[in-house]
Structure 1
């Protein structure tokens, strides 16, 4: 990746402590202070993070169904995925709990709309969604080297649910939310805006994110409660309706987690 790309969409956090660095710092604090004080201090200022990014221009155009009505257009494209959340059994930990996730996208649509909404989130038909994947039959337990990102990166389907069979072929399945939901809306692009813009969405555990405009971002309700050790997060680029295009220049995912 180029420095120019990073400058256009920098990570939301200035640094991302590794699990090893965070554990070492907590152990040092435990020796200097009371051990029971070390954990809350680290939780406030030095939790470990998983961070991933992609800086790669891709245009995702809504496609017609292979069968059915000609006016039904959609696309769900795998754009970015994380490494697995560390597992207690492999890292010598007793618990790993994701506390916060930050999504950033740099994107635009095709720059025009037939039915208005220009420059707002009304009539927006390009957006991003996030899913949680786990290893088939093993809960969220999977080896990092077996993550499906290389096999499925840049694959696209008409809808997210249509990816289920291909995911299972790679040994992965969706972690389903309430009422069988497979994905959570992250954010929409401004309508009829060809200028690339940065969008940031932050979700915290047990907190429903508030939004000034609910058409702009999703609240992430229940997402972090389902994100467990060994799971990965996938960011999907979406578009629907004829002629709509989700133009993506980059994206980042950052996950903060606590450990014992």
Structure 2
């Protein structure tokens, strides 16, 4: 049975019932709805099959492919309401190349993974001409859909896609490298260093949050075992400190709390090192908001 998901009007009616009929203080009403996870949700998805693979079998292989662009627009609300993003749920359908020469079968010590970055304009949209902001967003959307991928790293993609409009990958607040990137040197070092010293470069994960790794060499055939995996990852925020996932999932620390008005989120498929592949069959992101 499909779980009930409230719409905005459902939240308004419930708030009115608790406030006017039961006479509860507004602060308590909001707290009750929050504790009950009575949130509206917005779903974004991409069901296009994408394959990142090392056709040249190169030691320097590195690929970054943007899968999904999510603009941080608040859902339509009544005046004086400020919706807040409480939770993001990711559902990823994917697998790696199905074999490995390393002693890591069945683990998540992989070089086939997914990550998420926050793409931020150098100038915030507040105070700017709304028509100009909308035009820039349309240009970025067109470029996202029409650009040729993959490229070697996330900075090159964003530079080519919308660098001329002043967009950059925002830095991840934590100074330490996420543990999923530490099992080999190639996962830690960025393959390509941009010539412009003002651009971020150098270390993988400084401007992206690790989302999920593919289980290594789960099967070699669609007829043997659960070849295609479905990974579910849930990231919360400071006001909703939740996390769900397996040992190959990133924690998403400070991701939601780092989002600003005007940002957009990019979900990436990645693969590095000779022979590694990332076969993506779909990704869905569910955003849950208070109203």
Q: TM-score, normalised by structure 1?
A: 0.77
Aligned twin of 2:65: 77
Moved more, 151-160 or 24-33: 24-33
- Helix, strand or coil: the match of 1:151? helix
For 1:79-138, what per-residue CA distance to the aligned partner results, in whole angstroms no more than 9, with x for missing partners?
Answer: 1122423189x863453322111111000011111213112213x110000112233411
Contact kept? 2:88, 2:234, Cα under 8 Å: yes
Q: 1:143 to 1:22 in 2, by over 3 A?
A: farther
For 1:24-51, what per-residue CA distance to the aligned partner results, in whole angstroms no more than 9, with x for missing partners?
Answer: 5434543323251332232223212221
1:145-224 to 2 correspondences below 5 Å = 146=137, 148-153=140-145, 155-165=149-159, 166-169=161-164, 172-178=167-173, 179=175, 181-194=206-219, 195-206=227-238, 207=241, 209=243, 213=247, 216-224=248-256
For 1:119-162, what per-residue CA distance to the aligned partner results, in whole angstroms no more than 9, with x for missing partners?
Answer: 2213x110000112233411689659926344214732201122
Aligned twin of 1:119: 106
Aligned residues: 238
Within 2, Cα distance between the matches of 1:182 and 1:24? 41
Contact kept? 1:16, 1:51, Cα under 8 Å: no
Aligned twin of 1:3: none
Q: 1:164 to 1:45 in 2, by over 3 A?
A: closer
Q: 1:83 to 1:25 in 2, by over 3 A?
A: farther
1:31 and 2:20 are equivalent in the alignment: yes
Q: 1:135 to 1:86 in 2, by over 3 A?
A: farther
Per the TM alignment, residue 23 of structure 1 is displaced from its structure 2 partner at its CA by: 3.9
Whose Rg is larger? 2
Contact kept? 1:127, 1:188, Cα under 8 Å: yes
Aligned twin of 2:37: 45
Contact kept? 1:16, 1:50, Cα under 8 Å: no
Aligned twin of 2:52: 60
Gaps of 5+ in 1: 1-12, 65-69
Gaps of 5+ in 2: 176-199, 201-205, 220-226
Q: 1:49 to 1:162 in 2, by over 3 A?
A: same
Moved more, 198-207 or 168-177: 168-177
Contact kept? 2:74, 2:83, Cα under 8 Å: yes
CA RMSD of aligned residues (A): 3.1
1:130 and 2:162 are equivalent in the alignment: no
Aligned counterpart for 1:226 among listed residues 248, 253, 258: 258
Within 2, Cα distance between the matches of 1:87 and 1:50? 8
